[in-house]
Amino acid sequence: MTTTNSEELRALRTETIAAIEQRDLLAAQARHELIDALHSGVICRPGCEDAIATWGLEPLSQRWPVSADGELSYTRGHTDADEAREQSRWEVPDELRQLLPGMAIYTRQVVDVTPALDGNDDHPGAKRYRITVQVMVQQWVTATREAIAHTIARTTLETHLPMLADAGISLTRLTWQVADEPDDVTPDSAGRVVGAGELAAASDDIAAVTAVRDAAVQALADLRHRIRVRAIRALVDDEFGGRYEHAAERVGRFLVDLGLDRLPRAHQVTVTADVMLMVAAATASEAGDTAWATMRAITTSSPDESRPWTAYGWVNTEYATADQNRWRVRWRHEYEMWLRGHGGPDDAATVAESLARADLLRALAGVGHDLMTVTASVEGAGIDVNLNPDTD
C-alpha cells in the first residue's frame, strides 16, 4: 500500500468516526431534550413517543407485567391431606416473599399432595406433606422493549432458584407468557450512544471505506432532517397549544440547541388597497354581487409558494354610484403577508406593496377600475407562520 493510499484511508476512517459520533451525540441530545419537555409538560407522552420513533431513537421505558406459569413444590405440616389440599389452594409459603422479592405468586390449581418421607412435623398431630401446585409468577419490569423485559424477568427469577432449593422449595416447568400492555413510567433521559471506533471500516479497500464513510455521513444528515421535519410539523399542526409565537420560539431553541439551523424569520406586513370598480349592473345590490364575483379570484386563506399571503376584501354598496349603464363600487382589499429575506421593515413593506399591486393588476386585467391607494405597514417580525416541514 502506498503512502498516499494510507493517508487517504486514514482520512476516510477519521471522517467516518466523526460522522458516527456526531450522529450518536445528536440522538442522545434529542432524546434528552424530548424527555425534559415531557417532564415539564410541554409535550405529551404520545407526542414524545412518536418523535422518538420517527427519529429512530431508543424508546421510552415502560413497566411490563411479565409472568410465567410453573409448578411450585414445597413441604408443609397439616392435620391431614384434605387440609393440606384446601390450604394450598389459597396460600403459598410465607418465606417466598423474602426469597422472591418484588414478585407476586398466584396459585392456579393443586397438582398433587402426598405424605412426605421425612416424618411428622414438630407440631403434635401434624403430618408433613409434599405439595405441588400450578402457579403464576408475575414481575413488573422496567424496560424499553418487551423482549428486554422478558430477559430481565427470566434472569431475575433464575438467580433466585438456588435460594428456593436451599429452603426446600422448587419452581419448575416454567413457561413464559406474552406480556400484557405496559404502564408508562417516568423516563430516564440517558440514551444509548453507540461506540464509533468499532464501526469504522477495517478494510483497506478505498472504495469500501469510502462507502462506509458516505453511509455514516448520510445517516447523520438523515437524522438531522427527520428531527427538523418532525419539530416543524408539531409546530404547524399546533401540537403545543397556546400562542404560536411562544411555541415557535421553543421549537427554534430546541433546534438551535441541537446544532441545527434556526427557523426562518419573516416580517409580517399588512397591505391595504382601495379600488374603485366599474361594473355593469342594474342596481347597487347587483353591482355589489358583481364586485364580489370579480375579486373572489384573489381572495385566499391558504398561502402557497405562488401567493405567500392571505387576502380578503369587502364592498360598501352604500357609496355605489350609477354611471350610465355601469356602477362605480368601492372595494377594499387586505393582504396579510409574511416575507422572508429582507434586511429591514422598509424593504419588506416595499416588496409587499409591489406584490399586492401585481396581484391586483392581474386580477383586474380587462376590468374597469381605478387603483386608488395601496398602503403597506409592517406589523412586526418573528418566526414565519407559514412554515413547510418538508422544505424549511
Last residue of a domain, one of 183, 216, 243: 183
Q: Please, which pLDDT band fits residue 195 given cuts at 50, 70 and 90?
A: very low
Residues 359 and 303 in one domain: yes
Q: How many CA atoms lie less than 13 Å away from 74 in the CB half-sphere?
A: 23
Span 140-168, mean pLDDT?
A: 88
Cα separation, 229 vs 232, whole angstroms: 5
Does 233 fall in a domain? Answer: yes
Cα separation, 108 vs 72, whole angstroms: 11
Pairing of strands 183-184, 309-323: unpaired
pTM above 0.85, yes or no: no
pLDDT at 332 over 60: yes
Q: Please, which pLDDT band fits residue 118 given cuts at 50, 70 and 90?
A: low
Cα separation, 114 vs 313, whole angstroms: 93
SS3 243: coil
Render pLDDT for 289-315 as a digit per residue (tens, 0 to 9).
988 988 988 898 888 878 889 999 998
As beta bridge partners, residue 35 has none
Render pLDDT for 250-287 as a digit per residue (tens, 0 to 9).
999 999 999 999 999 999 999 999 999 888 888 888 88
Does 188 fall in a domain? Answer: no
Residues 159 and 104 in one domain: yes
Position 123 scores a pLDDT of 53
Higher pLDDT residue, 376 or 145?
A: 376
Residues 297 and 374 in one domain: yes
Does 378 fall in a domain? Answer: yes
pLDDT at 187 over 70: no
Return mean pLDDT, the chain.
86
Residues 271 and 376 in one domain: yes
Q: Sign of torsion, CA 63 67 72 78?
A: positive
Q: Which range of residues forms the domain containing residue 137? A: 62-183
Cα separation, 351 vs 268, whole angstroms: 12
Residues 78 and 31 in one domain: no
Pairing of strands 326-340, 127-143: unpaired
Does 388 fall in a domain? Answer: no
SS3 377: strand
- For residue 133 the three cell numbers come to 401446585
Position 241 scores a pLDDT of 80
Pairing of strands 170-176, 62-78: antiparallel
Cα separation, 291 vs 272, whole angstroms: 17
Residues 71 and 175 in one domain: yes
Span 203-222, mean pLDDT?
A: 86
Residues 53 and 160 in one domain: no
Q: Give the contacts of 333 (CB within 8 A, at least 6 positions apart).
A: 272, 273, 275, 295, 298, 311, 312, 313, 356, 360
Which of 3-7, 150-154, 323-327 has maximum average pLDDT?
A: 150-154
pLDDT at 318 over 80: no
Q: How many CA atoms lie less than 13 Å away from 113 in the CB half-sphere?
A: 19
Total residue count of the chain as it appears in this document: 392
Higher pLDDT residue, 286 or 323?
A: 286
Residues 358 and 379 in one domain: yes
* Number of domains, the chain: 3
- For residue 372 the three cell numbers come to 386608488
Cα separation, 362 vs 272, whole angstroms: 17
- Concatenated DSSP letters of 127-193: EEEEEEEEEEEEEEEEESSHHHHHHHHHHHHHHHHHHHHHTT-EEEEEEEPPP-PPEE-PPP-----
Q: What is the CATH number of the domain that holds 271?
A: 3.30.70.1120
Please choose, from the candidates 41, 19, 37, 20, the residue with its C-alpha nearest in 3D space to the C-alpha of residue 189.
Answer: 37
pLDDT at 356 over 70: yes
- Concatenated DSSP letters of 318-367: EEEEEETTEEEEEEEEEEEEEEES-SSHHHHHHHHHHHHHHHHHHHTTTS
Residues 224 and 133 in one domain: no
Does 52 fall in a domain? Answer: yes
Does 38 fall in a domain? Answer: yes
Last residue of a domain, one of 163, 183, 203: 183
Last residue of a domain, one of 218, 239, 257: 257
- With a pLDDT cut of 90, the percent of the chain lying above it is 36
Indicate the range of 170-179, 219-228, 269-278 predicted with least confidence.
170-179
The region that residue 119 occupies, defined by phi over 0 for left and psi between -120 and 50 for alpha, beta otherwise, is left
Cα separation, 267 vs 306, whole angstroms: 18
pLDDT at 226 over 90: yes
Residue type, 112: D
Residues 291 and 373 in one domain: yes
Does 321 fall in a domain? Answer: yes
Residues 47 and 66 in one domain: no
Residues 55 and 201 in one domain: yes
Q: What is the CATH number of the domain that holds 71?
A: 3.30.70
- With a pLDDT cut of 70, the percent of the chain lying above it is 90
